[in-house]
Amino acid sequence: MDRRTTKMSVPAPHGDGGRAALAVLLGVWSVVGLGCSKTATPTKMPTRAENHLNSGIAYRRRGEHDLAIEEFTKVIELNPSDAEGYLQRGVAYQRKGEHDKVIADCTRAIELAPSFVYANECLAHAYEYRGIARRYQGDLELAIADITRAIELTPDSVLAYVNRGLAYSDNGQNDLAIKDLNQAIRLDAGCAEAYAGRGMAHARRGDFDKSVADYTKAIELGKDDALAYHNRGFAYRKQDKFDPAIGDFTRAIEIKPGYAQAYQNRGIAHMCVGDYEAAEQDLTTAIDIDPAWASPYNTRGLLFVLTGERELARKDFEAALRLDPDGKEGSNARKYLRECLGKLDEVGNEPKRADDTREW
């Protein structure tokens, strides 16, 4: 994922309490593809805690998150009141997807931050990272509250507006999401993640023209990742622009070969243009990658309806029902089973109902 740079003001180092390490800390923020880059020269020889802190940051930059966590834990052992140590360890846990630990460490950093020489910056980042972890856990109201506090502390933070916009969108508040992402773009017109987030919000509102435009801008700005191509492909498909949709899903798969959702959606696009052989190959691959996911079974069942393979369709619908008996796909499977077993021909014109919307 492209690492964008957001400039931030960093105070000069201030003895053992503030340390030059916060300047190093601000060089590694990266949650949704944004980053901050700033360095400072220490005014004195580093302490043992500073050495461990800087080693942890170096490990994390190399993606060695377990070693980074060990170093940040040593910082905390040397000084249990070190807000920055907790915050840095929380960031490392975030990179590993251990959201409960992110929340615990950021909460402790918030409790300790008032005694830290750079309390405002520490608090802002701790609230934001805790909010991001809560968003991943689905606690969207708490996530929005935390990131709002971060914005109050650092009102010019591009990163905070992007993350709150994503949380608003996940919460179904897409107008507020677009407002935040517009602000992020005003603050940094080159922020690829803001355009991608706004593209997602537009898609969730059903405005696929704007979604395609925003994802295209994000890709032009360097967001050359599988999710951006997949989501633009999804928007193209919703516009019945199947050739560019297939192209984007193919690019997403090239970047991320085990991308089940991209195979599922490319399979649907192939169905829509009548290439049933390619569709079956893609949907079978999606099932092979994620056999516990019900959606591609339903989609492949609809494909078999189109090709007149009634028994294969029944088996796929029954598989979807077993996998998701109480959810959306189970409900769809029951419907498809009734129609297939009763009036097979009436189901044949509905392949696009089995959309994969998990990315949105």
pLDDT in tens, 175-198: 999 999 999 999 999 999 999 999
pLDDT of residue 356 exceeding 90, the answer is: no
pLDDT of residue 27 exceeding 60, the answer is: no
Burial grade of 9 (CB within 10 A; 0-12, 13-18, 19 or more): exposed
Tokens 């140590």 -> residue: 85
261-270: average pLDDT: 98
pLDDT of residue 282: 98
Q: Which residues 6+ apart lie within 8 Å of 187 measured at CB?
A: 156, 158, 161
Dihedral sign, CA of 171, 172, 173, 178? Answer: positive
Query: Which tokens sit at 65?
Result: 């998150």
pLDDT of residue 173 exceeding 80, the answer is: yes
Spatial separation of the C-alpha atoms in residues 211 and 201, rounded to whole Å: 8
Spatial separation of the C-alpha atoms in residues 250 and 287, rounded to whole Å: 17
Q: Is there a contact between 193 and 225 (Cβ–Cβ < 8 Å)?
A: no
Q: Is 4 helix (H, G, I), strand (E, B) or coil?
A: strand
pLDDT in tens, 98-115: 999 999 999 999 999 886
Question: Which one-letter amino acid corresponds to residue 277?
Answer: E
pLDDT of residue 197: 98
Tell me the domain boundaries of the chain: 1-165, 247-360
Q: Is 198 helix (H, G, I), strand (E, B) or coil?
A: helix
Spatial separation of the C-alpha atoms in residues 309 and 359, rounded to whole Å: 30
Q: Where are the alpha helices (DSSP H) in 154-207?
A: 158-170, 174-187, 192-204
Question: Which one-letter amino acid corresponds to residue 36?
Answer: C
Q: Is there a contact between 271 and 351 (Cβ–Cβ < 8 Å)?
A: yes
pLDDT of residue 360 exceeding 90, the answer is: no
* Nearest partner of 92 among 64, 131, 55, 120, judged by Cα: 64
- Can 1-165 and 247-360 be said to share one CATH topology? yes
Q: What percent of the chain has pLDDT over 90?
A: 77
Domain 1-165, CATH class in plain words: mainly alpha
pTM of the model: 0.80
CATH fold group of domain 247-360? 1.25.40
